[in-house]
Amino acid sequence: MKHQKGILGCISAVMLVALMGCNDDDSKKGTDSDVDTNSDADTSSDTNTGADSDSADSDTGTITIHWDWNGVVGTGQSLAVGQNSIVTTREQPYNNLKLSTGNLEWPVNAADTTLAMVPLAEPVGRRSTNYPSSWPTNIAGETPHSAMGNQITAMVEAGASTDFVGVHGEFGENGQCMYYLKKNPTVDPDGINGRAFEATLIETQAITRLAQEAGKTYGVGAVILTHGECDAGNVTYEDEMHQLWADYNTDIKAITGQIEDIQMIVSQQHSVNNRSDAALAQWKVGVDYPDSIVCSGPKYQYPYSSDGIHLVADGYRQLGEKYGQVYFERVIKGTDWQPLQPLDATRNGRVITVRFHVPVPPLVFDETLPTPHAGSEKWRNGEGFEVRNVVGMEIAIESVEIDGDSVIITCGEDLPGVAYVNYAMYSDSDTIMSVTDPVSGDELWSGTTRWGRLRDSDPFVGAGTGVPQPNWCVAFELDV
């Protein structure tokens, strides 16, 4: 049965809720409770915080907590460190942790006795005072980390009735490309950038020592990579992401002694370049290396600041909650969770059929987001889909409709011998998405410059924000 595009009923992508508490750091919850490690538990739950197996790809998998302290390290550029946001998550509701570096300057000695574990809250690290900057003074605002850590703990508690202690750190460098984030980075003549990889290892050494002193086990479950704008035109970006994962996986495991491989969780960027090489690579790297790396999905559905590049605090929190859901599925439950992404595309005359992996059916065209390509005569009916010829000329889309796990695109003109179907890869003169109130017409929030309306029906709701987060379709390109 075919379903025409419809208005989202019970899930609103524009619903924003009250922020978490704003108490001073001194009021945060303590960190001395014990956690059952290497334990399995039934994952069934009536909640919609993500622990319910209906909100994931698979109804299999048991909750396994690998260590007393479960590490997540972050890297990237401005969106990794919370640029253009105001810190809102100032209280830790669980027992999640971060490393305090006090007033130590680079290079930090991992054996320094002033290093200490403190409750996880924002800012996740010390504030940057200049641009450019790097760890240990690299944080600009609200990062995804606190929301991610709290989301994971909420899901474990809902699914297994036990605690989960996450330990988070962020090592991204605002505005910097992969050549400063990788192992053996390009040498910065000013000596500021290029610390991210080494800083990760220093912090991992320090936490490993502190865990041993506290009688706790510690390992790193994931690296989150929030990046890509600087490398938007980098044709080798996929290979570089995979190499970054391989280097982290080798060097971190050598420090912690863990046997478990580390997952890399990547999200797409949408603000820089039409048909961005980075955005395509961020999707493809999870397809080509499915055991090691996963794309959490796009970021076009989140609220942005007015520049269309950086998120606002609630956007970073929602991104962190999605990261947390993916971590829960991939690392804790051990499932092969994948985002809403295309499997293949076929053509028959003027009709293109794109078949999708759908985490939670059915597919929906969500009209809470504005019409993509509203200014394009040829693509305004595409719901974010774009068809073009080999030289990039637009091919008219007459209609799109959902048929099970597929989207059927009917073009308004004959297809050439070689054509491409894209999704959320092109902008209309860098027009920034504006989400408005359907009654008053007032702007509720602004978005980025490339987006689409296709999503699944995952009932997942962020534990901290209370915002529903179905899986939105990745930006992609396929030839037909």
How far, in whole angstroms, is CA 397 from its chain's centroid?
A: 30
Q: Which of 30-39, 115-124, 317-326, 431-440 has the lowest mean pLDDT?
A: 30-39
pLDDT for 153 equals: 98
Q: Give the Å distances, CA to CA, from 374 to 57, 100, 215, 399, 446.
A: 33, 48, 59, 14, 16
Question: Residues, the chain, total?
Answer: 480
pLDDT in tens, 30-49: 333 333 334 333 333 333 55
Return the domain boundaries, the chain. 2-7+341-479, 65-332
Confidence class of residue 398 from pLDDT cuts 50, 70 and 90? very high
Contacts of 286 (CB under 8 A, 6+ apart): 266, 293, 294, 295, 338, 339
Question: Of 46 and 193, which is predicted with more confidence?
Answer: 193
pLDDT for 31 equals: 33
SS3 annotation, the chain: CEECCECCCCCCCCCCCCCCCCCCHHHCCCCCCCCCCCCEECCCCCCCCCCCHHHCCCCCCCEECCCCEEEEEEEECCCCCCCCCCCCCCCCCCCCEEEECCCCCCCCCCCCCCCEEEECCCCCCEECCCCCCCCCEEECCCCCHHHHHHHHHHHHHHHHCCCCCEEEEECCCCCCCHHHHCCCCCCCCCCCCCCHHHHHHHHHHHHHHHHHHCCCCEEEEEEEEECCCCCCCCCCHHHHHHHHHHHHHHHHHHHHCCCCCCEEEEECCCCCCCCCHHHHHHHHHHHHCCCCEEEEECCCCCCECCCCCCECHHHHHHHHHHHHHHHHHHHHCCCCCCCCEEEEEEEECCEEEEEEECCCCCCEEECCCCCCCCCCCCCCCCCCEEEEECCCCEECEEEEEEECCEEEEEECCCCCCCEEEEECCCCCCCCCCEEECCCCCCEEEECCCCCCCEECCCCCECCCCCCECCCECCCEEEEC
pLDDT for 3 equals: 35
Count of CB atoms within 10 A of residue 290's CB?
11
pLDDT for 102 equals: 97
Mean pLDDT for all residues in the chain: 89
pLDDT in tens, 349-396: 999 999 999 999 999 999 999 999 999 999 999 999 999 999 999 999
Tokens of 170: 């962020």
pLDDT in tens, 259-274: 999 999 999 999 999 9
Contact by Cβ (8 Å): 397, 383: no
* Euclidean distance between the first and the last CA atom of the chain, given in angstroms as a whole number: 24
Percent of the chain with pLDDT over 70: 88
Q: What is the pTM of this model?
A: 0.89
CA dist., res. 222 & res. 120, Å (int): 17
pLDDT for 60 equals: 62
Name the region of 137 (left: φ>0; alpha: ψ -120 to 50; beta: rest): beta
Q: Residue-wise over 367-385: b if at least 16 C-beta within 10 A, else e?
A: ebbebbbeebebbebbbbb
Picking from 426, 437, 389, the residue whose alpha carbon sits closest to that of residue 411 is 389
Name the region of 167 (left: φ>0; alpha: ψ -120 to 50; beta: rest): beta
Count of CB atoms within 10 A of residue 247's CB?
16
Burial of 9: CB neighbours in 10 Å, binned 0-12, 13-18, 19+: exposed
CA dist., res. 272 & res. 439, Å (int): 32
CA dist., res. 353 & res. 407, Å (int): 6
Contact by Cβ (8 Å): 17, 85: no
Contact by Cβ (8 Å): 410, 350: yes
Tokens of 279: 């955005």
Percent of the chain with pLDDT over 90: 84
pLDDT for 192 equals: 97
pLDDT for 430 equals: 81
pLDDT in tens, 209-251: 999 999 999 999 999 999 999 999 999 999 999 999 999 999 9
What CATH code is assigned to 65-332?
3.40.50.1110
Residue with tokens 């069934």: 44
pLDDT in tens, 248-306: 999 999 999 999 999 999 999 999 999 999 999 999 999 999 999 999 999 999 999 99
